[in-house]
Each structure stands twice: as structure tokens, then as C-alpha cells.
Amino acid sequence: MEQNRTELVLPILSCYNSDMKRQIKRKMKRALLILLLSAGFLTAIPQSAYAVNTAPTAEQKTAADERKNIPVETNLLPGWPEGPLIGAQAAILVDAKSGTVLYQKNVNEQLYPASTTKLMTALLTIEHCPMNDIVTFSHDSVHNIESTSSRIGIDEGEQLTVEQCLYGLLLGSGNEVAYALAEHVAGNVDDFVAMMNERAAELGCTNTHFANANGLPDPDHYVSAYDMSLIARACFKNESLVTISGTKNYTIPPTNLQPEERPLENHHLMIPGLKYEYEGFIGGKTGYTKDARQTLVTCAEREGTRLICVILKEESPNQFLDTKALLDYGFDGFMKVNISENETRYTLNSATFFHTNLDIMGSSKPILNLNTTDYVTIPKTVSFEDLTVRVNYENLPVNAVATLDYFYNGHKVGSTAIEYADHTVEPFDFSNIITARTKEELPKKVISEKELIFINIRKVILILLIVLASLLLIFFTHTLIVRIKYMRERDKLRPVKKFNKKKLKQKPYSKRRK
């Protein structure tokens, strides 16, 4: 019986195994076909890889070498430290607080920013949304993005917080994240792009126009190096964006659709511990497309000086090497000088202008002063006395009546605001008021040996006003009486002329003479 069962089972297993083998072969053929089709499709479309390590061709290297011949404008300034010659199409180095330009090369040309665009996306997001807001990824945010572009693998319907999205945006450079944030902030991408352009104009950008939130190629999507420095300055004033963009690694926890964690690594290789680490690095953003080439924004700080460097259209890895050279140039060759501590040409201690002598307490204080935190950034070989200064009354900051703008050989190196003085009066401690109404009710320790005089300030003021009004009334009445009396006396003294009829009968003088 057992033998018959075994003989019966063996054919069934053999049939089952053969079916499984056929299914496996079928699946393998399908997978191979899909792989081949995918490879053919990827080679058929124009490649626009998004990576900081994309190796340039020999032709691109030659073009980068030729770009070193583009003049560096700051190198033409008399007495200005000579900056490095780099292969970027455009570059700028600025002081993050004052905006003083330390190095500039072709800073107004309109160029593709690539993923450095996401700094503006991050800025608008953090200005309009709480970090714990929930962002739900729509169908368009996931599927309307170029399949070969930079992604962090978010699925349709998946939910992340704004904070997690910002890490995905600035570390992982996720284009679907930029799209989703645009929809979350403005409702749709078009309205968000309008917000981007409006914010850029507010920051003073004149050679910038955005067409999307992620920096994917578009002929109508461009910035200049100078404009990108304005955007970066606004970004790096926000310490949350500094922290996020300067983070080396971050892990997005499991979500409503993804049970696994998503580890992210910052693409900016100047972070401490990475290949091109830089001392003082605090944040930045990378970018790359086939047309934009390598783009890079970096912020670093040393000894209280914070600098921002922008590189547009460079070849890898020179975007990092250029940035290092420019930051070293800035930190080594320039210094900050406090304006209020050194300005002597425009003194605010003149009692005839900046002071008021109407202080009834007799202690006249200045009504205007210089901002005590403003400074100029100048070459270490230059002194404060070498600068020229102009008074400016336009585009003033809050609480300022004017600004003093400082220049070295025509190049602006800083400014300070002339502000209304803030004379803070210490609040009176009302808990110490004595509420006694008579001398007997006063505590003994406040009663002196001399007689106390109790003064009602309101009554004193009222009496003074009545006296003043009475004096004015008496004065005007007296003046009126005197004037009337004078007019009467004058009328009495005036002679009365009598009418002489004989004069009318007299002949003309000429006739009488004849």
C-alpha cells in the first residue's frame, strides 16, 4: 500500500516541479526583457545625471581651462588682494551679514542653477510652514518628475513632516520632495514658482527667474552668481536651514507606506569627515545637470566671520577646490572693523544737531546713534581711515534715518545705520510706594527729623497752568489797552487842515508872472 502511495505521489511532484521551472523561466525571460528595454530606453534619452562626481570629458575640461581667462573684477581694484583664477563661469564670495563682496567673477551673467534652486524652495517652505506639518505626496509630485533625476524614493500617498522633507530636499536633493513642498506651501507648483520669483525680487535679485521648484533644466530657469548669494544670505540667516544643510547624515523613519528607514547622506563633500572637508563649514547645497554643469553654494564661519561662496558652471571636482581656494582667500586676506568704534568723521556727540537741549532734567542725551554691531570688511592691508564714506537716505532699514556707506577705491565694503537712540528707562517698582496719607501713618524710618512737605503733583500742575493762563490773559489785556490809548493820543495830536476858498480863485503861477 505504501509503495503504491509513493508511486502515486512521485509523478505529481515531478509535474509540480516542471510547472514551477516553467514559471521561473518565464519570469526570468520577462525580467531580462524589461532590463534590456530599460537599458535601451535610458541610452535613447539625453543623459542628465545629477551627481557631484560626474567626470568631465576632455572637451569640457578644455572649456573649463579657457574660462580661467574670464576677468576677475575684484582683481582689477587698486590695493585689493588678488584672488585665485578658477575655471567656473561665474563665482562670488561675500560676507554673509554685511553682503560685502570680497571676490567677484562674471557675477551678473544668467546661468542655470541646477539643484541650488532648492535653497529658495527651502527658504519659502520654512517661512510659511511649521516643521511638524504633514506633507502628503500627490500623484503629480511622484510621477511628473523625470525618472532619471535625483530622487529619494517617495511613493504616491506617502506622508512626511516638513522637517523630514527639508532633509530630503537639502541632503538627498529629492526632486519629488521639492515638488511636494511646492504643492504643500502654495497649493500648486505654478503658484509656488510665482512666490519664488516674488521673494527673489524682494531680496534684490535682478537676473533671476525660476520656472520650477527643483532646478530641472528649463530655458526660463536661471540665476546669476550675485543673485544666488542674496538668496543664500537669506537662507543662512535661518539657523534651522544652517543645521539641516550642514548635516552629514539623516535617517527618515518609517512612514505610513514605507516600513523601512531611509538613510540620507549629504552630497556636499566639504562637510567634516568627507573627501573635501573644510574647517568651519556650516552648510550649503550642491547642483548638477548636463547644461548647468557643477554648481555649488557653501557657507563657512571662522572666528565670528561668516562667508558665502557661490560657484556656477564648473567641472567636478573643481567646484569644491574652487570653493576652498575662495574661502581661504577670504578668511586669510580680510578683517572686520567695527564702524561705531572707529568713525570720527561723522560724530553724533554734537549738541547742536544730534543732541536735544530740551531735557527738563538737565541731562541731554543723543537722539541718534550709530548701530553698534555694523562693520566693514576690508583687506588686512587697509586701515579704516583709508575708506571714503557717503550719507545715504534711500532703502533704509527699520528705525534708521540714514546710512553711512563705506567704500575702498569705489568698492563698497560695508555700511551702518544712523538710528534713533534707544534710551531705556528702568521700570519703577510700584511695590515700594507708600500709601500713607498723613504723617502719622508713615513708617517711622522714613520720617526725617525735618518737617515733611506733602506735594500733590496734579494740583501743582493745575495751579501752574491756571497761573500761566492768567498771566497770558493779563498780558494780552494790557497790550490791548495800551494800544487803544496810544491810538487815541495819536488822533489828538494830528493837526486839522482848514479848507481855503481863496486858493481856488488864484490864477496859475505862470499867468501871474506875465
As a whole number of angstroms, the distance between CA 96 and CA 300 comes to 9
Give the C-alpha separation, 313 to 94, whole Å: 18
- Is 173 annotated as catalytic? yes
Torsion, Cα 179 182 187 191, to 10 degrees, reads: -110
* 3-class DSSP state of 414: strand
Which residue of the set 98, 115, 224, 415 is catalytic?
115
CB 187 within 8 A of CB 82: no
Number of C-alpha atoms within 13 angstroms, CB side, residue 237? Answer: 15
Is 98 an active-site residue? no
CA distance 101 to 91: 11
Residue in 98, 150, 173, 229 annotated catalytic: 173
C-alpha distances in Å from residue 468, one per residue of 180, 202, 359, 460, 481? 73, 55, 21, 12, 20
The vertex-383 CA angle with 346 and 326, nearest 5°, equals 120
d(CA 100, CA 49): 35
d(C-alpha 299, C-alpha 306), whole Å: 7
Could you tell me how far CA 229 lies from the centroid of its own chain? Answer: 10
Query: Which positions ≥6 away from 366 have C-beta within 8 Å?
Result: 348, 349, 354, 355, 421
Residue 377: left (phi > 0), alpha (psi -120 to 50), or beta?
beta
Active-site hit among 105, 118, 285, 324 = 118
List the catalytic residues.
115, 118, 173
